[in-house]
């Protein structure tokens, strides 16, 4: 049966079919989510949207109608897909339909910005697979909108959401309907939460960069407010806003409820006090040079006193506390607070020591980072005032054009915006060990900070005079002498000096292999190959070592073709940045490049694309060595085209060049569309265009030091050669699919190679 459904003035033609089950009809939950979309279209504009359990496709099709700039994928069980495809044809829009079984499909079909689902948690047996699908889809920054019927959704669903490392909050609802926003937790908790963090503050020196709610820690400044906030006082920039509640003392809250619930703030508020009041003088004193480094500790200690918390029975460091003059001075100013009776300046010094040892630091990206990344990825135009403000405050070089500066800021906002920094008191037992035992994070769904015990990772850590390096080897700890454990921790944090120290003098194959990897990470590729050769000679049957040796020696000139090296090639080059970048158009045969694309796609259909080979800057790729015909073709290109091109570009002998890594990369809007700014782990790098430029929109290699906002791009068969230490990134591909071949190389002394 085909009916016309009208929601918020938008008509949809939908066929219902009860033969496929309960999903073959439309339900009130879906209509309520559609109404939310109609009221908040900007939240969905230019986003990649996945709908789970689409049924008739109501929500996904409605989003496509209201927000045509969005791309939508509607999914359901295989026997529902026919109904979905029929309704997609009836209504049109940028919508695709495909099968997705939460219990059987381990992978989400692509990368998405928003996930929507309604009436999917009505039965307990659906909770585990639904939460599993949400967890797989919910990467950093992804928002999930889940509509539920309150009478049908049990607490088991919410428990599973929290246990999966997600958090939820109620966006809107009534006695029947609830719309939840679900996100990834700030950090993944290995064990259930064990204690509330009651005392926290935004770091003193961070307050000029970002503004957060004094009670709950949520970001307050919207992008359009930021320019004014950067140039004026907090009061001036927010005084006219109706969504921020300001106290006379300058504290800001996201709501009246937060202001009323802020016990700590009330006890330390100075808005109603005279300038000579001791507490006013205390807060003023925190900005002085001799105190400012301890301002966060002092605020938390004052909060401890103000809330009347029990005095700590002992301070962390033991011994005698030496009380400085400024500690005594500030203690006198705090003398009227609760909890100070019968205490002395020495007691206050002990409290400060205790607070320092228990302070746990938390960072999250500045709210403008997401705004800039969205603009960069989707080609969105920022408000003019925001563009001007960004350029005025953050232009890297005064001689740079405004467009160039803005493109750099949008491509790498983390380099320009200070993160939001908070510090909280943690009441768990934090050992002075190589790995702290807890983490702290803000949980919006619960309206509080929470602490979790962890097995082997933590957000921040504190002790003594300030933060300690997470995972640092403490020689004085006798219980941490297990070499394998220390090695594992050193590997996790790329502490190469510690790895070499732990393995010094060892000549076992495993140690040599580990030391080979360390040498490669350091950029000493000759030593890396030498150590790997020694390892494979000692253990030729070891599968890991043998595979590494095979990979390292699978490229020309180790695979030598005498006929290939006799073919001359003199490339025509366009040079940039004093020869650190060179572009060679039509360097490789376009038809052959197309054949290689077909080979790689065939291989990927069989075993999939890799997304985790590179730790710091992962790509969606296939290693060249995994496709034999591609490897043969590539070795021919190395001998006849690519090494001669590098020789002409950097004046290094072609015979000295060696490949460190080579991999086939795929960019597309519905998966990986760009690559952040980074430096390669290579001496010389190559980016080779493997398909025609007409196949995609956007793309290219962006070099911020090049002096222009546009990326460098070449058509199929073209090559960009550049210094591997040069900052660069993959510019967003906004339509179609772009394929490149990335090659990392170095030059060695011939007799050592």
427 closest CA partner among 507, 593, 309, 521 = 309
Is the distance from CB of 229 to CB of 237 less than 8 angstroms?
yes
The two three-digit tokens of residue 475, written as one number: 């020689």
Euclidean distance between CA atoms 115 and 182, whole angstroms: 9
When pLDDT is cut at 50, 70 and 90, the band that residue 276 belongs to is confident
Structure confidence by residue, pLDDT tens digits, 263-272: 667 778 887 7
Question: How confident is residue 435, by pLDDT bands cut at 50, 70 and 90?
Answer: very low
- Greatest Cα pair distance, the chain, in angstroms, is 92
Q: Counting Cβ atoms within 10 Å, is residue 436 exposed (0-12), middle (13-18) or buried (19+)?
A: buried
Indicate the SS3 state at residue 247.
Answer: coil
Does residue 195 have a pLDDT over 60?
Answer: no
**pLDDT the model gives residue 93:** 85
What confidence tier does 596 reach under pLDDT thresholds 50, 70, 90?
very high
Q: Residue 20: pLDDT above 80?
A: no
Chain segment 711-733, per-residue pLDDT in tens = 999 999 999 999 999 999 999 99
The pLDDT of residue 314 is 47
- 488 or 294: which leads in pLDDT: 294
Structure tokens at 560: 């030598």
713 touches 357 (CB < 8 A): no
The bridge status of strand 166-173 relative to strand 95-99 is unpaired
- Cα separation, 282 vs 646, whole angstroms: 64
Sheet containing 675-678: give its strands across: 675-678, 728-730, 701-702
pTM of the model: 0.58
The residue-averaged pLDDT of 111-132 equals 89
Show the CA angle centred on residue 200, arms to residues 264 and 359, nearest 5°.
135
Instruction: Provide the token pair at 536.
Output: 């494979």
Q: What is the pLDDT of residue 613?
A: 74
Give yes or no for a contact between 742 and 685, defined as CB atoms under 8 angstroms apart.
yes
pLDDT at 431: 31
Sign of the dihedral through C-alpha 373, 374, 378, 384: negative
Indicate the pLDDT class of residue 351, thresholds 50, 70 and 90.
confident
Q: What is the pLDDT of residues 518-553, one digit of tens each?
A: 888 788 888 888 899 999 999 998 888 898 898 889
Specify whether the CB–CB gap between 661 and 552 falls below 8 A. no
Burial class of 739 by CB neighbour count within 10 A (0 to 12, 13 to 18, 19+): buried
Alpha carbon separation from 190 to 35, 184, 185 (Å, rounded): 37, 14, 12
Q: What is the DSSP letter of 409?
A: H
* Beta-carbon-side half-sphere exposure of residue 52 (alpha carbons within 13 Å): 30
Pairing of strands 48-52, 71-76: parallel
Q: Among residues 652, 733, 644, 720, which one has the least CA distance to residue 685?
A: 720
Residue 448 has a pLDDT of 45
Strands 657-667 and 738-747: antiparallel
Q: Locate 670 and state its tokens.
A: 């519905």
For tokens 């769904």, name the residue. Answer: 445
Confidence of residue 197 (pLDDT cuts 50, 70, 90): very low
Name all domains of the chain by residue range, CATH numbers in brackets: 2-190 (3.40.50.150), 203-356 (no CATH), 573-747 (2.60.120.620)
Identify the residue whose tokens are 């002790």. 463
């Amino acid at each position: 049966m085909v009916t016309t459904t009208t929601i918020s003035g938008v008509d949809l033609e939908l066929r219902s079919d009860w033969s496929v089950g309960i999903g073959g009809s439309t339900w009130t939950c879906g209509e309520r989510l559609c109404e939310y979309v109609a009221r908040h279209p900007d939240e969905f504009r230019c986003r990649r949207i996945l709908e789970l359990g689409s049924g008739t496709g109501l929500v996904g099709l409605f989003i496509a109608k209201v927000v045509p700039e969005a791309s939508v994928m509607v999914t359901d069980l295989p026997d529902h897909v026919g109904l979905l495809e029929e309704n997609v044809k009836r209504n049109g829009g940028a919508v695709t339909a495909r099968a997705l079984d939460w219990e059987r499909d381990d992978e989400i079909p692509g990368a998405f910005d928003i996930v929507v689902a309604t009436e999917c948690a009505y039965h307990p047996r659906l909770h585990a697979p639904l939460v599993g699908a949400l967890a797989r889809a919910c990467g950093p920054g992804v928002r999930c909108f889940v509509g539920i019927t309150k009478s049908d959704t049990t607490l088991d669903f919410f428990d599973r959401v929290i246990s999966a490392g997600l958090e939820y909050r109620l966006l809107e609802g009534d006695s029947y309907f609830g719309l939840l926003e679900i996100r990834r937790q700030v950090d993944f908790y290995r064990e259930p939460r064990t204690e509330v963090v009651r005392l926290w503050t935004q770091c003193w020196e961070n307050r000029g960069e970002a503004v957060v709610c004094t009670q709950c820690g949520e970001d307050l400044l919207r992008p359009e407010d930021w320019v004014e906030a950067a140039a004026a006082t907090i009061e001036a920039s927010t005084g006219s806003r109706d969504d921020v509640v300001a106290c006379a003392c300058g504290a800001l809250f996201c709501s009246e409820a937060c202001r009323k619930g802020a016990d700590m703030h009330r006890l330390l508020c100075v808005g109603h006090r005279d300038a000579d009041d001791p507490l006013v003088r205390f807060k003023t004193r925190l900005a002085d040079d001799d105190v400012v480094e301890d301002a966060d500790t002092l605020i938390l200690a004052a909060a401890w006193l103000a809330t009347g918390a029990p005095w700590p029975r002992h301070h962390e460091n033991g011994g005698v506390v030496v009380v400085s003059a400024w500690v005594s001075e500030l203690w006198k100013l705090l003398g009227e607070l609760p909890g100070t009776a019968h205490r002395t300046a020495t007691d206050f010094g002990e409290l400060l020591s205790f607070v320092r040892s228990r302070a746990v630091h938390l960072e999250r990206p500045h709210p403008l980072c997401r705004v800039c990344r969205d603009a960069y990825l989707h080609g969105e135009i920022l408000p003019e005032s925001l563009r001007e403000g960004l350029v005025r405050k953050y232009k890297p070089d005064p001689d740079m054009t405004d467009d160039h500066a803005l493109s750099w800021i949008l491509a790498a906002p983390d380099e320009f915006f200070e993160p939001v920094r908070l510090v909280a008191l943690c009441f768990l037992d934090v050992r002075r060990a190589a790995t702290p035992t807890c983490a702290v994070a803000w949980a919006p769904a619960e309206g509080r900070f929470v602490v979790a015990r962890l097995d082997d990772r933590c957000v921040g850590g504190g002790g003594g005079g300030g933060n300690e390096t997470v995972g640092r080897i403490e020689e004085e700890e006798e219980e941490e002498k297990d070499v394998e454990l220390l090695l594992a921790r050193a590997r996790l944090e790329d502490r190469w000096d510690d790895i070499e120290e732990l393995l010094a003098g060892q000549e076992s194959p495993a140690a040599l292999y580990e030391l080979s990897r360390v040498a490669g990470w350091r950029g000493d590729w000759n030593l890396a190959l030498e150590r790997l050769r020694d390892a494979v000679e000692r253990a030729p049957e070891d599968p890991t070592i043998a595979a590494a040796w095979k990979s390292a020696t699978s490229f020309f000139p180790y695979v030598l073709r005498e006929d290939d090296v006799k073919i001359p090639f003199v490339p025509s080059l366009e040079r940039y940045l004093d020869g650190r970048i060179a572009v060679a158009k039509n360097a490789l045969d376009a038809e052959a490049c197309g054949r290689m694309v077909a080979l790689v796609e065939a291989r990927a259909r069989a075993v999939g694309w890799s997304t985790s080979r590179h730790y710091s800057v992962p790509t969606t790729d296939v290693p060249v060595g995994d496709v034999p015909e591609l490897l043969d073709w590539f070795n021919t290109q190395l001998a006849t085209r690519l090494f001669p091109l590098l020789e002409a570009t950097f004046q290094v002998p072609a015979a000295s060049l060696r490949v460190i890594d080579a991999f086939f990369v795929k960019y597309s809007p519905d998966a990986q569309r760009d690559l952040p700014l980074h430096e390669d782990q290579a001496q010389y790098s190559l980016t080779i265009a493997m398909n025609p430029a007409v196949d995609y929109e956007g793309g290219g290699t962006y070099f911020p030091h090049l002096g222009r906002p546009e990326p460098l791009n070449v058509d199929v068969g073209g090559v960009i050669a550049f210094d591997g230490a040069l900052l660069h990134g993959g510019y967003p591909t906004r339509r179609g699919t772009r394929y490149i071949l990335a090659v990392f190389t170095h030059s060695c002394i011939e007799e050592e190679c």
